[in-house]
Amino acid sequence: MVGKKVVHHLMMSAKDAHYTGNLVNGARIVNQWGDVGTELMVYVDGDISLFLGYKDIEFTAPVYVGDFMEYHGWIEKVGNQSYTCKFEAWKVATMVDITNPQDTRATACEPPVLCGRATGSLFIAKKDQRGPQESSFKERKHPGE
């Protein structure tokens, strides 16, 4: 891992529901990983970057309205202008009864539930690389440096 892991926390709201039963579309997870990747790029080289794409996206458990999620990301490899990142989505708390919107009871997921994982590639042009902007990334090296 290069630098530190970035973690975003988010509760799934009614606007995230896409399917019957208050099921959240997997694209919502992918969207949040994009923000995690952008934050990583700011830390590692001072630019918001271009997200080139994902591979090996896996959705491993359902996500519902009211679920509290953590979106994790870290850099696995630094290239000349590209960065390979790993992403995970974890459910850390959930509603007790998702069928009743008046029921506000929730419970922690112990252990957290892995809901998705993927590998992503991001790009920062050499001319836009400003060097590490956060101390845990100071050891990052591009090939040839």
Q: Mind listing the pLDDT tens digit for each residue in 39-91? A: 999 999 999 999 999 999 999 999 999 999 999 999 999 999 999 999 999 99
Position 20 scores a pLDDT of: 86
Query: Which token pair is 52?
Result: 């080139």
- Supply the mean pLDDT for the chain: 95
Listed residue (6, 23, 35) closest to 95, CA to CA: 23
pTM of the model: 0.94
- Residue 25 gets which letter from DSSP? P
Assess whether pLDDT exceeds 90 at residue 7.
Answer: yes
- Give the pLDDT confidence of 93-142 residue by residue, as tens digits: 999 988 887 899 999 999 999 999 999 999 999 999 999 999 999 999 99
Domains and CATH numbers, the chain: 1-135 (3.10.129.10)
